[in-house]
Amino acid sequence: MALWARQVSRGCCLLQTARAAEFPGRLRRCSSTARACRGFAPLTLLPSRNDVLPWRLQAYRHVSAGSCSPPDSAKDGSFSSPESNLPSPVKQEQAKAETLPDLNAKILYEDWDDIPPSSALEEISEEEAVQIIAEPLLPLQSSTLRDYVDHSETLAKLVHLGVDLSQVEKRQKAGQLLLTLDFEKDIRKILLFLKDVGVEDNQLGPFLTKNPYILGEDLEALETRVAYLESKKFGKAEIAQMVSRAPYLLLFSVERLDNRLGFFKNELGLSVKKTKDLVIRLPRLLTGKLEPVKENLQVCQIELGFQRNEIQEIVFKTPKILTASKKRLKQTFDYLHNIMGIPHHMLTRFPQVFNSKLLRIKERHMFLRFLGRAQYDPAQPSYISLDQLVSLPDEVFCTEIAKASIQDFEKFLKTL
């Protein structure tokens, strides 16, 4: 209210001064009115905006010495200024008015039309209070992506797609990446690319859960890597299988993929066809570290005593042996070779035995030995192959290999 009053008082003073300059005959009434303007001027004393304000403010600019220069005619004496004929009270009021800034009608209109801002302490009705909807605050930092799902369309759509955000946030900087991406601009094109490569719709969620970083990759770079695999004669179905089983595969540059393929071909002495078959069955060989692979190859050759050609055959038949635990590999070989008496050439023929649990091998071998049927030499009668020893279910192993019941096998295990 105080601001409005000051604006009205200022407007009143300006208007009355301008009127005095135009009509000297009304000086006394204007002078008294101007003095009233020093206080609060009632709204009824103000002239109509449309009638007076624009052209009278224009006149005020012409007579105000503080806002413009006198006309040329006044300088040469051909024109006498109205101010020279004004009585002293009016001149004093004009002098005070001249100290005011040069305002135009538009600014003054804006001042009159201003509505004071509402106060935070202003009382509102209960109905208005009920209608106020407070948006939930976005946390400045959080240890879980769950706090941002309601604020992020991208996260909400990824959840609908089947992405497990609780697993994604465990990966370094993956959560920050997703919060910076726009689903329509950044993510949709990657999803269409993955579908084109061969990733099934129901596998997109699990795929992105394991590898959310692909959403930040350049689409052209991804297409170049797929084109490289095609140039190496990998079929579309084979590429789809490799990408699905090794989600990080397409994060590797063409140079790195080429180096990996060359490493397995040269290190193992495999042909191009066998190298392709090797990585198709275990594409993680192209994405994992090479140090464990090199160490396992040395263990097979130096500590286990396999020949180079035997290692080639073992690896080609059972690629997982390259990424197996060295400790487990040596323990399994020690039991098979030194306890059960299986020679190297038999282990080379059935290398899948290295993928079996050592406890399973021990339990079945000891049960067969208890029954007197532990015979692993193909040249002898009642021969039992290593494949039969480890791959058959317990019921089939008991009835067809051990020639005993499953109850007998369970009773024997309790004695161990």
Residue 215 DSSP code: G
* pLDDT at res. 153: 85
119-160 pLDDT, tens digit per residue, is 556 677 777 766 766 555 445 454 466 656 666 788 888 888
d(CA 170, CA 242): 24
Domain, as residue range, for 375: 356-415
User: What are the mean pLDDT values of the chain's consecutive 10-residue runs (416 residues total)?
Assistant: 46 48 44 42 41 42 40 41 45 47 48 52 71 55 59 84 89 86 94 95 94 95 97 95 95 95 92 94 93 94 94 94 94 96 95 94 96 93 92 94 95 92
The Cα 264–Cα 286 span in angstroms is 9
Residues 408 and 360 in one domain: yes
Cα gap 310→8, rounded to integer Å: 104
Contact (CB, 8 A) for 98 and 83: no
Contact 314, 306 (CB under 8 A): yes
Residue 55 lies in a domain: no
| Maximal CA-CA distance, the chain | 143
Quick one: pLDDT at residue 126? 76
Q: Which of 328, 347, 366 is the last residue of a domain?
A: 347
Residue 406 is assigned to a structural domain of this protein: yes
326-334 and 358-371 helices, crossing angle to 10°: 10
| Local structure of residue 373 (DSSP, 8 states) | -
The answer to whether residue 299 sits within a structural domain is yes
| 244 is a domain residue | no
In a domain, 389, yes or no: yes
**Could you tell me if 341 and 378 lie in one domain?**
no
Classified as helix, coil or strand, 101 is: coil
**Domain's final residue, options 301, 321, 347:** 347
Domains contained in the chain, number: 2
pLDDT of residue 24: 46
pLDDT value at residue 62: 41
Same domain, 361 and 342: no
The answer to whether residue 367 is domain-embedded is yes
Closest CA to 293 of 322, 329, 332, 253: 322
Residue 182 belongs to a domain:
no
Q: What is the pLDDT of residue 136?
A: 52
Are the C-beta atoms of 87 and 13 separated by less than 8 Å? no
285 found inside a domain: no
Residue 156 has a pLDDT of 87
Task: Please check whether residues 341 and 373 belong to one and the same domain.
Answer: no
